[in-house]
Each structure stands twice: as structure tokens, then as C-alpha cells.
Copies of this chain bind each other. A is one copy, B any other.
């Protein structure tokens, strides 16, 4: 079977040094473990809870940083887009174009991403929305399939709404998503967020549960996930976005080591 895929990096681009520091540490860890690695970072956080929150460097500077990471580290990169007209430009740099969870039902965005991926021979990652059932992803894959081959598609689980201000990852959903014929990754970083309830900022940011990231990652890999999506920082408490669910970069190697072992055992058992 294929080795566990690792899509990991930082939540939102801050400065190039941070991106290179995180990216090179992850590249090294993955290389040592024989795991395929792709760097991830957002250039714009378009749905922050508060209008005052840091959003990122924006499209132009963001793509520059991503191109620099790609060139200097020699790794593929992943980023997410929010408007259809960003797709073509992003596809020039990104190897994996990500559709955000809240936007995964927006037909124009899905179509634009599919067209850009087709034009530049890139991959597409769809974050399953918090309001969708695993099998509801079928419609999204079908939309993409009307534009390009569905072999480009990766589905990503990041939790489902569970009452108010809470998410839950349904481990049985991973198998349901895999039945659609696509690889499935687990975004353990966002899956532990408690929407709308970060006590540090009186409800203005999306809260997290840092200690749960490894738990969700391990569980999902044992449930059959093909890859993991993780966000790190050199100083998580000072991360400019989603710090509460961000892991310290020093924890990457031991976590990935564990996940690789769990993935091998699970693959052998299935």
C-alpha cells in the first residue's frame, strides 16, 4: 500500500522565515520516515470570526512565499482559495488547490478549481463541510468530474457539527468517503477546534484543543485515513491564527513516527 501522505505546514503565512523553518523541519522528518510530504499554508483567512483578525499576506505576496518555499525546499505546496478568480493564478504555483469547508458547495468555486487543476495538471483537496454527511461528498466529486478526472480529488475530513460550538469526527465517515473512490485525509488541526468559543478572546476567535490533535490524527489513521493534514508553528501561542489548535514544530517528528507505525499496521489489517 501507499505510505501515509503528509500535508503539513502553517495555518496562515506570516513571514518567509517561518514558512521555511516549518517546511524544512517537516521535509526532514518526512524524509527520514519515508513519507511523502507537501507544504501547506494559507495566503488569506477569509472567514475569520472577527473583522479585526489577521488574515494573511494576500494573494500576491502569498504566492511569492509559496513559490519561494517550493523552490528553496524542493517540496510541493498546497494552499486554499476563496474566490473563483483566484484559481488560475494559484494553480500556477500550488500543486494541490484546496477548497475550504464552508465553500465546498459553491458551484462556481468548485468549477474554477477543477478547471485550473485540469489546465495545470494539479490536485484538488476538498474539505468536507461541517454540515455535510460523508456520502454527501459524492455531489462535489461529481461536480469536479464534469470538468476534469476525479483522480485529482482528495477529500479531507475536519469534523461535523455536533450541537453548538463543538465538532466531532465520525471515524466511520472516513470509510464512507473512501467508498467514493478518492483518498481521504484527516485535518486533525481543524477537527479539534471549538467553533466560536476561545476563552482567550471572549468568543471572537475559533477555539482549539491542542492536546487533541494527536488523538484525532492517530484515531483517523487507525480508521483508515490515507493522509494527515497538520499545522505547526515555532511558537504556537503566538501564531497569528488558530494558535489554540496549533502544534509546536518540535512535536512533529515523534507524532509522524507514531502515525507512520499506526498506518502500516492498519494497512496490513485491512
A residues 157-186 near B (Cβ < 8 Å) are 160-166, 168-172, 174-175
**Which of A32-40, A118-126, A239-247, A257-265 is the contact stretch?**
A257-265
- Could you tell me if B142 and A50 are in contact, using CB atoms closer than 8 angstroms? yes
Q: How far is the CB of A112 from chain B (nearest CB, A)?
A: 11
- Could you tell me if A161 and B130 are in contact, using CB atoms closer than 8 angstroms? yes
A residues 162-217 near B (Cβ < 8 Å) are 162-166, 168-172, 174-175, 192, 195-196, 203-204, 209, 211-212, 214-216
Size range of the chain A interface in the assembly: 35 or more
Q: Which of B172, B220, B261 contacts A192 (CB 8 A)?
A: B172
- Could you tell me if A48 and B172 are in contact, using CB atoms closer than 8 angstroms? no
Residues of chain B within 8 A of A169, CB atoms compared: 170-171
- Could you tell me if A161 and B164 are in contact, using CB atoms closer than 8 angstroms? no
Known contacts A46-B107, A139-B204, A164-B166; decide if A133 and B219 are in contact (CB<8 Å): no
* A residues lining the B interface (CB < 8 Å): 46-51, 55, 82-84, 102-103, 105-108, 110-111, 129-136, 138-139, 142-143, 146, 160-166, 168-172, 174-175, 192, 195-196, 203-204, 209, 211-212, 214-216, 218-224, 254-255, 258, 261-262, 265-266, 268-269
